[in-house]
Amino acid sequence: MLVTCTAAAIWLSAGSGVQAQTIRCGMNNGQKATGVPINIGGIVSKTGPDDFSASAGAAEAYFKCVNQNGGINGRPINYSVGDDRWNPETATQLRAKLVDDQKVVAMVGSSSFAECAANAKAYEASNVVVIAGVGVPRECFTSKNYAPLNAGPRLSTVAAAQHLNERDGAKSFVCISLNIPNFGAWACDGIDVWAKANGLKSTTILIDPGSSDANSTILQAAALKPDAIVFCLSKSVIVSLLVAAEQQGIVDKIKFGSGAAAYASDLPAAIGPAWNKKFLTNMEFQAIDSTAPDNKNWLAIMDKYADASVSRDTFSQGGYLAARLATETLLKLDPAKIDRDTVSDALRKVSKFESDILCTSWYFGADAARHNANSVLRTSIVDENAWKVVSPCTKVVDPELADIRAYEQKSGMDR
């Protein structure tokens, strides 16, 4: 009997050891957390022109894993996510509900188009730190309490232009983006400023998100006779512009690139074989199909804890990283003293969060006025209905990053 039980115990331990190797989250002890819940919130733009919810979907999966593996020293995470429907007023209401009513200790895994501008000041006033999976408009990267894991559309678009310049010798650019305040013009301004600083030429074309005439937009861009056209658009608009470019016969006449929004596994097949090795995109994170350990862990957690409808995409990677960062930070705190002030303080002190999903370590920047730590990025190109990474991690050179670079240098960070 004793031998049988011992054998069973050894087998069970070996089993949980195997599980701990394939999926890593939180305390990894296979024990369900049953203590006093820790409230954490997230806000996403799901219902509307595009669905950004994969970030919170991944964060939720990670937190579920954490709760199944000991929680935060025995305390489970109670993760509440709201959909702001791309509406700033709804975003404000959600923030009030999560911060004032549910008294969340932090916001993690957010990815919203509307909430940065709507809520940034309120987060500062409430001493709530936001570790967003993905930030999109300018306010997400210029607010004191808001720190996204991604690079942002401006850096991503500039990086695409830089790659086209370095790889293909492009010297004149047209940047096409959306006429949304603090998004399109801001992102394309990155190429403009970088181009001027390097003796190159750049023009911006802003289009309405609902524009139905991709053909005229492409004609407008091509009429400027650029060496390269760079997009900072949603993937569905990118597809329509590339189709128009193909129909106008300019695939081989002009180079095409995009910020990270184009990096979706289904896009190469959608645009067709004419774009094989001709359309490149910047990537804010690791290749989705990478076999690097943390990337594999992300995919494994998604497979086990996330609904199949949650996209396994770059937004999801951002949400996973945000949740992992928050968990590891909370685990260092005394579980009896986890409150908003201690959590905010601890998150601000994050200085070297490592993951192979990122090119370099991520930091918050406690005394920085704004946060944009992810600024070393990779590039991929369409190759046989898939993406192929074609550049190593490369530092983005955007003159607007001067304050960030100065902070990194002062803090002794190697970028």
Q: Which residues bind another protein (CB under 8 A)?
A: 49-51, 179, 205-208, 210-217, 219-220, 223, 235-240, 243, 247-249, 264, 266-267, 270-272, 309
69 vs 87, which CB is nearer to another protein? 87
DSSP assignment of 344-395 equals HHHHHT---B--TTSSS-B---TT-SS-----EEEEEEEETTEEEEEEEEEE
CB of 344 to another protein, least distance (A): 34
Distance, first Cα to last Cα, the chain: 60
280 vs 325, which CB is nearer to another protein? 280
Buried b (16+ CB within 10 A) or exposed e, 344-367: bebbbebeebebbbbbbbbbbbee
CB 362 within 8 A of CB 343: no
37 vs 209, which CB is nearer to another protein? 209
156 vs 165, which CB is nearer to another protein? 156
CB of 203 to another protein, least distance (A): 9
CB of 242 to another protein, least distance (A): 9
CB of 162 to another protein, least distance (A): 25
Q: Which amino acid, one-letter code, is at 150?
A: N
CB of 250 to another protein, least distance (A): 9
Buried b (16+ CB within 10 A) or exposed e, 78-112: ebbbbbbebbbebbbebbeebbeeeebbbbbbbbb
31 vs 265, which CB is nearer to another protein? 265
198 vs 247, which CB is nearer to another protein? 247
CB of 214 to another protein, least distance (A): 7
Tell me how far apart the alpha carbons of residues 42 and 112 are, in angstroms, rounded to a whole number. 9
3-state secondary structure of 39: strand
Structure tokens at 13: 């331990």
